[in-house]
Chain A
Amino acid sequence: MREAPARTEPGPPARTRRLGAAARWARRAPLLPALIFTIVVTQLPFVATLVISLMRWNSLDPANRGFAGLDNYAAVFTDPDLRGAIGVTVLLTATVVLVSLALGLGLALLLDRGFAGRGVVRTMLIAPFLVVPVAAALLWKHALYNPEYGLLNGVLTWLFGADAPQPEWISGMPLLAVEAALVWQWTPFMMLILLAGLQSRPQDAVEAARIDGATSWQVFRHLTLPHLRQYLELGALLGSIYVVQNFDAVFTITSGGLGTANLPYTIYQTFYQAHDYGRASAAGVVVVVGSIVIATFALRVVSSLLREEVRG
C-alpha cells in the first residue's frame, strides 16, 4: 500500500523484491541494532541455560563439574520440591488468570454503562495495578493479612465484636493468600482490556437486536460475548505470560514456604541458595517449554489481530 506510484519507480507490485542488494541492506540497517541486541541479550543466555542444564555443576563443589546428560531433568521431575513447584505454578497461574478475567469481565460490563462518577470508579479500579508489585505484596502481607493488626481481621472485629474469628490468613491458607493478592493486582488489567473490547463493539447491531426485541441476556450471549472472545483470549494469554513468571508476590508474602513456591521462586532458590546450577537450569528449561505452549496460542491470537489490521 505504501509503494511509490509507478511514475517514480517502475514495477510497483514487486518493487521490494527487485531492490538491489545494497538497497536491501540500507533498509535492514535501522533494524539490525535492535535485532542483534535482542539476540545477544535474550537468546544467547537461554542457549547457555540449555547447555548448563546438561551439566553437573554446583558452584560449592567446582571440582565435580562435568557432563550429566539428562540427570538434571530426571532430578527436576523426581524431586518432590521441584515437582511441587510445577503444580503450584500451574494452579497459581490458572486460578489467578481465570478469577481475574471473570471479575474483570463483570467490572468491565458495569463500567461500560453510564452512571454518575464513572470516571472516579474507573480510576479507583485501576489503582491496584499501579502499585509497585513488591509494595503491593508487602501491603497484603503486613497491612491486610497480619493476624494481630491487619485490616482483614480488623474488619471482622468491627463486624462481629471482640469474639470475631481471627484467622491466620497466610499460614492458614497460604496459596489462597498469594492468589488473592495477585487477583487484586490483575483484575484491573483484565477489566481495561475487556472495556476496550466492549467500547469497540459495533453499536448498530446491538440497537437492531434490541428493536427486534432481544433481551439483555440474548444481546450479551449472542453479540457481546462473541465480539469479546478475542479480547478474553488476549487477556488470558497475556495474564498467563506475566503470572507464570511471578516472583514478587511469592517471594514477599510467603518466601516460597507452606507449599507456595512456584517455578521462578524455586529456580531462584536452587541457584541462589543451593548453588546447584545444573538443576536450576533444567528447571528453567522446563518453564520455557511450558511457556512455549502458552506462547504458541498467544502468538496465534495476536497474529489474528495483526492480520485484521493488514486487511483493514
Chain B
Amino acid sequence: MNRLLGLAAWAAGLLFFAPVAWMVLTSLHSEPDAATNPPSLAAPITFDGYAEFFDSNPWPPLINSMSASIGSTVLVLLLAVPAAYALSIKKVEKWSDVLFFFLSTKMLPVVAGLLPIYLVAQHTGMLDNISFLVVLYTSMNLPIAVWLMRSFLAEVPGEILEAAALDGAGLVTTLRRVVAPVALPGIAATSLICFIFSWNELLFARVLTGVVAGTAPVHLTGFVTSQGLFLAKVCAAAVVVSLPVLVAGFAAQDKLVQGLSLGAVK
C-alpha cells in the first residue's frame, strides 16, 4: 500500500513536470524535429532555437525586466522595512488596522486602476518608461512585503529588545546587533518574492510600455504571431525568460509559499 502511494506520487510528479520537460526538450530540437507528430524524443540536440531567440534581440527586454524588477524590489525594501518596524517593534497605535489596510490594497484588482494610471502616464510623458513600471510594481508588491517583513520582525523576542534597552544600546546598535540577524533572511525572502512578481508581470507592461521599455514577458507575447512555425524558438524563449524565476524559486520554495500566502503560513 505504502509502495503504491509512493508510486502514485511519482506518477503525479512526472505528469506535472512533463510540460516543463517537454518545453526544455523542444527548445533543444531543430524546428522540423520539434514540429512532428508523433513527437520525436530521440531527435538530435541542437541549440539553434536558442541562437534564433538571441538573434531576435532579446537583450533590451531582458535588461528592462531586470531593471524594473531590481529597481522596484529595492524601492519596496526602502519603504517596507521602516513600515514593518513601526508595525512590529515600535508599534504605532492601531497597528493591526494599518496592516489590514495594506493587505486590502492587494485585493483590489489591478484592472480597476489601469485606465487612470494609463492617463497619468500619457499626460506626464511617462509612457514607455521603465521608471513608471518601477513605481507600479512597487505598489503591487509593497503590501506583501510589509506583511511579510512584519511577521519576520515580530520573531525578534521582546525580552532581548528589553535587555538591549536596559544595557543602554541605542537605536542603531539594537538594529544592527539584535534586529538585523533575525530579519536578514526575511529581507532576502521578501526581495526574492518581489523580484519574481515583477518579473512575471504582463498586464501593466503590455499597456504602459512599447518600443523602448518593453519587458521580457511583453517580448514573449510578440512570438504569438509566429503561430508555432518556430516552436523550438518559442520554447527556447520561454525557457530563457523563466530561468531566473525557476532558479530563484527552487532555491526558496518555502519562503515563496509564505510570501504568496501573505505570511499566514509558516
> Do B79 and A251 have beta carbons less than 8 Å apart?
no
**CB-CB contacts of A200-230 with B at 8 A, as 1s and 0s?**
1000000000000000000000000000000
Residue of chain B at shortest CB distance from A28: B92
Residues from chain A with a CB closer than 8 A to the CB of B136 are 41
Q: Which of B114-122, B123-131, B181-189 contacts A (4 or more CB under 8 A)?
A: B114-122
> Do A247 and B203 have beta carbons less than 8 Å apart?
yes
User: Count the A residues whose beta carbon is within 8 Å of the partner chain — how many?
Assistant: 115
> Do A281 and B115 have beta carbons less than 8 Å apart?
yes
A101 vs B73: C-alpha distance when bound (angstroms): 30
User: Count the B residues whose beta carbon is within 8 Å of the partner chain — how many?
Assistant: 111
> Do B113 and A42 have beta carbons less than 8 Å apart?
yes
> Do B261 and A34 have beta carbons less than 8 Å apart?
no
> Do B257 and A193 have beta carbons less than 8 Å apart?
yes
> Do B162 and A130 have beta carbons less than 8 Å apart?
no
Residue B55 interfacial (CB < 8 Å): no
> Do B113 and A294 have beta carbons less than 8 Å apart?
no
Residue of chain B at shortest CB distance from A140: B19
Residue of chain B at shortest CB distance from A113: B5
Residues from chain B with a CB closer than 8 A to the CB of A303 are 96, 100
Residue of chain B at shortest CB distance from A59: B119
> Do B9 and A110 have beta carbons less than 8 Å apart?
yes
Q: How far is the CB of A181 from chain B (nearest CB, A)?
A: 9
Residues from chain B with a CB closer than 8 A to the CB of A174 are none
> Do B264 and A30 have beta carbons less than 8 Å apart?
no
Residue A87 interfacial (CB < 8 Å): no
> Do B142 and A252 have beta carbons less than 8 Å apart?
no
Residues from chain B with a CB closer than 8 A to the CB of A41 are 135-136, 138-139
With A107-B12, A135-B238: A27-B92 Cβ-Cβ less than 8 Å: yes
Residue of chain A at shortest CB distance from B145: A34
Residue A256 interfacial (CB < 8 Å): no
With A37-B142, A158-B38, A302-B262: A252-B224 Cβ-Cβ less than 8 Å: yes
Q: How far is the CB of B69 from chain A (nearest CB, A)?
A: 12
> Do A2 and B2 have beta carbons less than 8 Å apart?
no
Q: Which of B222-260 contact A (CB under 8 A)?
A: 223-224, 227-228, 231, 234-235, 237-239, 241-242, 245-246, 249-250, 253-254, 256-257, 260
A149 vs B227: C-alpha distance when bound (angstroms): 12
Residue of chain A at shortest CB distance from B80: A34
Residue A68 interfacial (CB < 8 Å): no
Q: Which of A218-259 contact B (CB under 8 A)?
A: 231, 234-235, 238, 241, 244-245, 247-248, 251-252
Q: Which of A268-291 contact B (CB under 8 A)?
A: 268, 271-272, 277, 280-281, 284-285, 287-288, 291
> Do B228 and A149 have beta carbons less than 8 Å apart?
yes
> Do A116 and B6 have beta carbons less than 8 Å apart?
yes
> Do B114 and A143 have beta carbons less than 8 Å apart?
no
A38 vs B79: C-alpha distance when bound (angstroms): 10
> Do A2 and B91 have beta carbons less than 8 Å apart?
yes
**CB-CB contacts of B86-114 with A at 8 A, as 1s and 0s?**
11011111001011111111111111111
> Do A302 and B264 have beta carbons less than 8 Å apart?
yes
> Do B37 and A45 have beta carbons less than 8 Å apart?
no
> Do A38 and B111 have beta carbons less than 8 Å apart?
no
With A110-B5, A294-B107: A193-B112 Cβ-Cβ less than 8 Å: no
> Do B264 and A291 have beta carbons less than 8 Å apart?
no
> Do A132 and B200 have beta carbons less than 8 Å apart?
yes
With A123-B250, A247-B203, A303-B100: A37-B20 Cβ-Cβ less than 8 Å: no
Residues from chain A with a CB closer than 8 A to the CB of B87 are 31
Q: How far is the CB of A139 from chain B (nearest CB, A)?
A: 5
Residues from chain A with a CB closer than 8 A to the CB of B256 are 192
12 contacts between A and B (CB under 8 A): A2-B158, A27-B90, A34-B83, A37-B139, A41-B136, A115-B5, A133-B202, A135-B241, A146-B231, A184-B19, A193-B261, A231-B265
The 4 closest A-B pairs by CB, nearest first: A115-B6, A45-B113, A30-B82, A48-B116
Question: 11 new A-B pairs (CB below 8 Å) besides A157-B37, A287-B111?
Answer: A30-B90, A44-B116, A52-B115, A121-B9, A124-B17, A142-B227, A148-B35, A149-B228, A184-B19, A291-B109, A294-B107
